[in-house]
C-alpha cells in the first residue's frame, strides 16, 4: 500500500504521518502542493498544519493548489483520501466533504487528548473496528468546530456518514465532552461514497504507547490491510 502525503507551505505533520504509515507496514512518498502527478499512489493523506498560513481561512488557499486538482479527480474516481485536521479543512473547502470548520467555541487553541465514539466502522479507514467502540486520539487546533446546515446534518446522520463523535471515556456523547463546540459532537465524517474521510483529531499522534495512546494506528493499519510494525 503506497501513500502520498501532501505538503503545502505551512504543513507540519507530514513526517508524523509517514512514521505512522511505516508502523502500519505501508510505504509513503511526499507530494508537493505544486505537483500534478500522484505517482500511482493508493491513498492520499492531507496532514495537519497551517497550509499557506491559514490566510483568509483555514484551507481556503490550499484548495486551489495544482495538487488538489489531482486529489479531487482521484477521489471522484474512488481513490482513498484521508484529511487530518488542516486536511479536513482543505477537504471541506475543496467540496469533497460538506460543511465547514469554524473557530473553536472557546476562541482558544485546544491541544489535548480526546475520546472518539466510532459510529461508522464499515469503511476502509476503520476495517476491524466495531461500531460503538472508542478511541483515544488527541486534537490540536483552533478552528475545529464542525458546522453544517440542518439539511446537511440530516443527510449525514441518515446515511451513516458521521465517522466519529467526541465522547467521554465511557462513550457518553454530550456538551461536557465536546472540546470545540462542534455540532452534535462531530469529530469526523466521510463522503457519500465512503472513500474520503475528514477528521480533526490526529491519529498519527496516537500510534505508539509512548505517546499516551496507540489507538490511532488502527486507521493506518486498516488502510494497509496488514499487521502493524510495532517498535521493538
Instruction: List residues with catalytic annotation.
Output: 85, 202, 204
- Residue 161 CA to residue 186 CA, distance in Å, equals 10
Instruction: Output the nine-digit C-alpha cell for 188.
Output: 469526523
- Asked if 62 and 24 touch (Cβ cutoff 8 Å), the reply is no
Pure H helices in 96-198? 150-158
From residue 96, how far is each of 11, 20, 99 by CA, in Å? 20, 24, 10
Strands 2-7 and 43-46: parallel
Cα 8 to Cα 64, 105, 116, 204, distances in angstroms: 11, 27, 28, 18
Give helix then strand counts, H and E, for the chain.
Answer: 5, 11
List the one residue out of 30, 17, 3, 26 whose CA is nearest residue 221.
Answer: 26
Amino acid at each position: 500500500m503506497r501513500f502520498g502525503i501532501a505538503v503545502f507551505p505551512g504543513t507540519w505533520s507530514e513526517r508524523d504521518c509517514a512514521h505512522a504509515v511505516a508502523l502500519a507496514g505501508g510505504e509513503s512518498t511526499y507530494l508537493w502542493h505544486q505537483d500534478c502527478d500522484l505517482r500511482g499512489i493508493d491513498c492520499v493523506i492531507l496532514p495537519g498544519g497551517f497550509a499557506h498560513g491559514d490566510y483568509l481561512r483555514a484551507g481556503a488557499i490550499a484548495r486551489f493548489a495544482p495538487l488538489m486538482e489531482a486529489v479531487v479527480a482521484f477521489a471522484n474516481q474512488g481513490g482513498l483520501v484521508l484529511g487530518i485536521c488542516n486536511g479536513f479543512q482543505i477537504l471541506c473547502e475543496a467540496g469533497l466533504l460538506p460543511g465547514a470548520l469554524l473557530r473553536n467555541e472557546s476562541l482558544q487553541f485546544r491541544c489535548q487528548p480526546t475520546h472518539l465514539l466510532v459510529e461508522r466502522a464499515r469503511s476502509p479507514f476503520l476495517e476491524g473496528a466495531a461500531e460503538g467502540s472508542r478511541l483515544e486520539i488527541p486534537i490540536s487546533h483552533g478552528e475545529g468546530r464542525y458546522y453544517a446546515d440542518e439539511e446537511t446534518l440530516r443527510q449525514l446522520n441518515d446515511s451513516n456518514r458521521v465517522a466519529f463523535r467526541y465522547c467521554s471515556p465511557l462513550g457518553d456523547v454530550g456538551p461536557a465532552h465536546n472540546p470545540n463546540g462542534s455540532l452534535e459532537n462531530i469529530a469526523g465524517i466521510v463522503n457519500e461514497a465512503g472513500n474520503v474521510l475528514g477528521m480533526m483529531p490526529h491519529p498519527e499522534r496516537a500510534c505508539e504507547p509512548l505517546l499516551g495512546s496507540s489507538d490511532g494506528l488502527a486507521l493506518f493499519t486498516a488502510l494497509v490491510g496488514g499487521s502493524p510494525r510495532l517498535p521493538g
